[in-house]
């Protein structure tokens, strides 16, 4: 191996999202000249490597790492010498991987903000606190380069740049009309998904944060290519950064669809205590019920072959342009089976992995460059929007 590290990436986390990122990077050899994949379970990296060779003819390097341990992350980075680390492990590993990047002088990208394992609370402050350290080291950290957060933030920045003088309100609408054939399964890491869904609702309104009981507010939206679906008001991480960065915005809310069947299972699991995140004593062992539940639920990465239907994620944005009220809807529709045919994954992993690859591409080519810690809406949306069209996530802007 030469030491030309310019196009070398290290991807940490070989789950549903990590697999898509590896496949998509392998498709763009002119940017990603050398790809490493490391995770807690080496066998998962090796299975992805085999699939990538079969689909693209490219060989990737694999390694084992426990990314909770900063010293292991540093050792791995020193061994691979990448230009960028793409973190597709879990939110719990964000800070240890950021520490590893700082120690080794390497840029960083992730798709979900930090969350402590023992408290169901996600917030950007932990990672925003790294601003000075990344800036002083001359490094860049890009936070939340998935779909939501990620593409939804870029949609808002694009609307602000091209469609509005002032934005009054943003509603982020996330519909997954996929059927996977299991009585109950989650489309991304079950532990993270259930922690998010069972949390209290929260939205930004006229400079204040307002709270609602979990899943207590819903509305029916008519989603393009899907039809009417019930969507529930939830707190989601991009609300925090958009409230800070979209100047003058009055209200921002996030809505996600759930089937009645999903909610029925979730309610029972909650009622019997299976979604608890505090350890309980069981036959002489301490176990965390939600972690045990994750172990018996289908792995998100295994849902690909059976999931049919579409996702539709986007933003309805209202504001003023040239003195007149204006309302637009920017969205993407993605088909689970088309994703599976292309990279062997369902659309939730795909819609997260493609933007991670694009964010990485823009950083490696210095199209997006800066020192410090960045949320997606702080960077020029145009090159990102152009790449979405080219790499599998075409978008539509509709005036309402």
Kindly list the residues in this chain that would bind ligand NDP in the complex (CB under 6 A): 13-18, 39-41, 44, 65-68, 88-91, 93, 111-112, 144, 146-150, 188-189, 192, 300-301, 348, 352
Instruction: List, in sequence order, the alpha helices (H) in 81-167.
Output: 94-104, 125-128, 131-136, 151-162
Minimum CB separation from ligand NDP for residue 37, in Å? 10
Q: What is the closest distance, in whole angstroms, from the C-beta atom of residue 42 to ligand NDP in the complex?
A: 9
**By C-beta, is 295 or 320 nearer to ligand NDP?**
295
User: Are the C-beta atoms of 87 and 106 separated by less than 8 Å?
Assistant: no
Cα first-last separation, the chain: 54
The residue among 160 and 351 lying less far from ligand NDP, judged by its C-beta, is 351
Least distance (Å) between residue 132 CB and ligand NDP:
25
Q: Which is nearer to ligand NDP, 17 or 22 (CB)?
A: 17
Question: Positive or negative CA dihedral for 199, 200, 204, 207?
Answer: negative
Our CB check for ligand NDP shows the closer of 171 and 318 to be 171
Nearest distance in Å: CB 111, ligand NDP? 4
Nearer to ligand NDP, 318 or 393 (CB): 393
Instruction: Determine whether 3 is exposed, middle or buried from the number of CB atoms within 10 Å of its CB (0-12, 13-18, 19+).
Output: exposed
d(CA 62, CA 11): 9
Nearest approach in angstroms of CB 58 to ligand NDP is: 20
What whole-number distance in Å separates Cα of residue 185 and Cα of residue 83? 36
Q: Are 148 and 334 in contact (CB under 8 A)?
A: no
Residue 88 or 275: which CB sits closer to ligand NDP? 88
Could you tell me which of 302, 280, 305 has the C-alpha nearest to residue 291? 280
Maximum alpha-carbon separation in the chain: 68
**Choice between 109 and 215, CB closer to ligand NDP:** 109
Alpha helices in the chain (DSSP H): 16-27, 42-56, 70-80, 94-104, 125-128, 131-136, 151-162, 190-197, 237-245, 260-271, 289-296, 336-343, 347-364, 381-390
CA-derived radius of gyration, the chain = 20
Q: Which residue has the tokens 């669809």?
A: 257
Residue of minimal CB distance from ligand NDP?
Answer: 15
Phi first, then psi: what are they for 341, rounded to 5°? -60, -40
Rounded least distance, CB 320 to ligand NDP, Å: 30
Shortest separation between residue 260's beta carbon and ligand NDP, angstroms: 23
> Rounded to the nearest whole angstrom, what is the least distance from the CB of residue 124 to ligand NDP in the complex?
13
Nearer to ligand NDP, 164 or 223 (CB): 223
Q: Report, in Å, the least distance between residue 64 CB and ligand NDP.
A: 8
Q: What distance in Å separates the CA atoms of residue 324 and residue 165, rounded to the nearest whole number? A: 10
Which of 68/342 has CB closer to ligand NDP? 68
Look up residue 53 and give its two tokens: 């060779």
Specify the length of the chain in residues: 400
């Amino acid at each position: 191996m030469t030491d030309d590290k310019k196009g070398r990436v290290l991807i940490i986390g070989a789950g549903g999202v990590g697999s898509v990122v590896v496949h998509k990077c392998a498709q763009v050899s002119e940017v990603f000249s050398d790809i490493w994949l490391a995770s807690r379970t080496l066998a998962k990296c090796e299975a992805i490597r085999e699939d990538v060779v079969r689909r693209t003819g490219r060989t990737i390097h694999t390694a084992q790492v426990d990314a909770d341990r900063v010293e292991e992350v540093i050792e791995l980075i020193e061994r691979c010498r990448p230009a960028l680390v793409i973190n597709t492990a879990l939110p719990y590993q964000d800070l240890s991987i950021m520490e590893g990047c700082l120690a080794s002088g390497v840029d960083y990208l992730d798709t979900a903000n930090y969350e402590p394992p023992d408290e169901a609370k996600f917030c950007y402050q932990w990672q925003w606190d790294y601003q000075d350290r990344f800036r002083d080291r001359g490094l860049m950290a890009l936070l939340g380069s998935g779909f939501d957060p990620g593409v939804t933030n870029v949609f808002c920045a694009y609307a602000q740049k091209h469609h509005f003088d002032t934005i009054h309100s943003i509603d982020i609408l996330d519909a997954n009309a996929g059927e996977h054939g299991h009585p109950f399964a989650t489309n991304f890491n079950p532990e993270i998904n259930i922690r998010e869904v069972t949390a209290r609702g929260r939205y930004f309104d006229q400079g204040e944060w307002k709270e609602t009981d979990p899943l207590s507010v819903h509305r029916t939206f008519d989603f393009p290519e899907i039809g009417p679906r019930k969507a529930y008001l939830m707190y989601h991480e991009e609300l925090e950064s958009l409230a800070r960065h979209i100047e003058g915005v009055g209200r921002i809310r996030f809505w996600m669809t759930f089937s009645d069947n999903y909610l029925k299972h979730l309610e029972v699991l909650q009622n019997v205590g299976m979604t608890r995140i505090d350890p309980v004593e069981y036959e002489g062992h301490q176990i965390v019920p939600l972690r045990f539940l994750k172990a018996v639920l289908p792995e998100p990465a295994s849902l690909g072959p059976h999931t049919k239907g579409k996702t539709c994620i986007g933003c309805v944005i209202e504001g003023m342009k040239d003195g007149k009220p204006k309302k637009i809807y920017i969205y993407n529709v993605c088909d689970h089976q088309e994703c599976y045919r292309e990279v062997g994954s369902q659309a939730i992993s795909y819609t997260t992995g493609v933007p991670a690859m694009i964010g990485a591409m823009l950083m490696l080519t210095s199209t997006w460059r800066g020192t410090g810690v960045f949320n997606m809406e702080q960077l020029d949306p145009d090159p990102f929007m152009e790449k979405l069209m080219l790499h599998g996530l075409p978008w539509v802007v509709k005036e309402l």
